[in-house]
Amino acid sequence: MRILLLLVTSLPLLAQSAHTIPSAIDLPNGWHITPVGRHVVTEDYILNVSNTPDGRGIIALNSGYNPHGLSVIDPKNVEITQRAGLKSSWFGMAWGPDGQTLYVSGGNGQSRTNPTAAPIYAFRYANGKLTAQPVKEFHHRVPMDQIYWSGLVHHPSKPLLYAANRHTKAVPGHVVVFNTESVERVAEIPTEIHPMSGS
């Protein structure tokens, strides 16, 4: 009787135990994932990815513990064809209407070594490659300890870039509007705490 009781009470536990699948990666919760296709090894903490307007590549923005930067990925050969390092970055990427300019959020550049006010970077894109260095940088008027760029959106036809500054503290932020031709700030729009999103 004890054996039968032990068997009956342990059946639910056996049903819940992990079953090994040879090609799967086991997760701590007992689930499994089975990747399909191939992958590329990037730097850590990819915060954003974007198709290139010409359809030839994918741009990945990493903003983790390792050095920040952009990776240009060839989706046909599943390989990284270019890396462009950045002092700091965070989340935001937006293509200009010409399809040849990529704007990248500089996040917060207030590091322990060489602290600087983070900019918004502009890279040119042609023939499947970005320029090695930014061709333009957009700067804000506020001190570096109040700058934490996040989401970016470019106007569909006008030379206007909308850049969310989430601030470094839990205080209201704002969206800065830059003229992408003159690199000048043309407006600031107040927001609630930590504006992030772009499209």
Every domain of the chain and the residues it spans: 36-193
* φ, ψ of residue 177 in degrees (nearest 5): -105, 120
The torsion of the CA quartet 199, 157, 72, 66, rounded to 10 degrees, works out to -50
List pLDDT tens digits, range 46-58: 999 999 999 999 9
Question: Rounded to whole angstroms, what are the CA distances from 198 to 23, 75, 122, 163, 187?
Answer: 36, 24, 16, 8, 17
Q: Is 14 helix (H, G, I), strand (E, B) or coil?
A: helix
pLDDT bin (cut points 50, 70, 90) of residue 25 is confident
Higher pLDDT, 35 or 13: 35
- Is the model's pLDDT at 197 over the cut of 90? no
- Kind of pairing between the strands at 160-165 and 149-154: antiparallel
List pLDDT tens digits, range 71-92: 999 999 999 999 999 999 999 9
Higher pLDDT, 2 or 64: 64
Q: For the chain, what is the largest distance between any 2 Cα atoms, rounded to a whole number of angstroms?
A: 86
pLDDT bin (cut points 50, 70, 90) of residue 188 is very high
Residue in 127, 116, 56 with CA at minimum distance from that of residue 86: 116
Bridge partners of 95, per DSSP, are 102
In the chain, the percentage of residues whose pLDDT exceeds 90 is 66
36-193: CATH architecture: 7 Propeller (2.130)
- Is the model's pLDDT at 2 over the cut of 70? no
Residue in 89, 188, 199 with CA at minimum distance from that of residue 142: 188
pLDDT of residue 147: 93
pLDDT of residue 62: 95
CB neighbours of 65 closer than 8 A, spacing ≥ 6? 44, 45
List pLDDT tens digits, range 141-171: 999 999 999 999 999 999 999 999 999 899 9
Q: Other CB atoms closer than 10 Å to residue 55's CB: what's the count?
A: 8
d(C-alpha 80, C-alpha 102), whole Å: 18
Question: Rounded to whole angstroms, what are the CA distances from 102 to 11, 96, 183?
Answer: 57, 6, 14
